[in-house]
């Protein structure tokens, strides 16, 4: 079992600690390793929606016709990458895990593992579908993303109320602040789903911009402001 201390670079450092309480607490390293494996599989599955041309004499045309699949792949690859970065930053602030945290982490992995499916639906809708198909695809993608943001909200709330799991120098106030970041995602993806019913492309743009926001704030919403003070 491990806890964390601040290292020379200001990041929380893990070190051995015998603070196990009746087997309830456990080292977070196994959780990280399992989560990394799941995310690696998810990010690999995304490429399966890209298909080689099959029609003789039309290879270039078919490759160009697949442009929505390329866009969907890049967007979802970036999305899963941002989730991995955020997950890594999360566990630099966690010393131990209990069953409650394990289940919430599994909920996050569940919602993430679903992502290749709405990505494929989105790609198909913009390649082959009509306006209604595109609306359905963007709404579906946005709703899955909203549920995923909700799983982050559950995770942050649990850590905000279970300070004994946290690394040294990490306050529950940090995760209380992070709940707002997750809640913003839930609301924004629901707004994207609502807008997509009239303008699917506009809804898709909102859904595509949000991972950029989460990438820029992967060390916490308050971190850029703290650096200025």
Mean pLDDT across the stretch 11-37?
A: 61
Of 149, 151, 135, the C-alpha closest to 193 is: 135
pTM: 0.77
**Residue-wise pLDDT tens digits, 196-225:** 999 988 888 888 888 888 888 777 766 544
Quick one: pLDDT band at residue 226, thresholds 50, 70, 90?
very low
Which tens digit of pLDDT belongs to each residue from 157-176?
999 999 989 888 888 888 98
Residues in the chain: 229
Mean pLDDT, residues 123-131 taken together: 84
Q: Taking the CB of residue 75, how many other CB atoms lie within 10 A of it?
A: 17
Percent of the chain with pLDDT over 70: 83
The CA distance from 215 to 219, in Å, is: 9
pLDDT given for residue 203 in this prediction: 86
Q: Read off the pLDDT band of 7 (50, 70, 90).
A: very low
Average pLDDT, the chain: 80
Residues 66-115 pLDDT 10s? 777 777 788 788 888 888 988 988 888 998 899 999 999 999 999 999 98
């Amino acid at each position: 079992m491990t806890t964390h201390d601040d290292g020379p670079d200001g990041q929380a450092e893990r070190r051995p600690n015998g603070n196990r309480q009746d087997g309830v607490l456990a080292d977070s390293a196994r959780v990280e390793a399992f989560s990394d494996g799941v995310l690696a599989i998810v990010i690999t599955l995304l490429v399966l929606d890209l298909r080689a041309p099959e029609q003789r004499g039309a290879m270039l045309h078919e490759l160009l016709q697949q442009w929505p699949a390329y866009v969907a792949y890049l967007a979802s690859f970036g999305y899963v990458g941002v989730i991995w970065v955020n997950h890594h930053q999360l566990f630099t602030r966690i010393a131990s895990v209990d069953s409650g945290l394990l289940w919430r982490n599994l909920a996050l992995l569940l919602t993430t593992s679903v992502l290749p499916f709405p990505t494929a639906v989105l790609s198909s809708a913009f390649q082959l579908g009509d306006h209604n198909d595109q609306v359905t695809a963007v709404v579906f993608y946005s709703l899955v993303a909203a549920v995923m943001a909700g799983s982050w909200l559950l995770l942050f709330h649990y850590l905000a109320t279970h300070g004994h799991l946290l690394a040294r120098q990490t306050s529950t106030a940090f995760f209380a602040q992070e709940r707002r970041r997750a809640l913003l995602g839930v609301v924004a993806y629901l707004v994207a789903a609502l807008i997509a019913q009239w303008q699917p492309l506009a809804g898709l743009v909102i859904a595509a911009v949000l991972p950029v926001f989460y990438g820029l704030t992967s060390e916490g919403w308050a971190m850029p402001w703290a650096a200025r003070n």
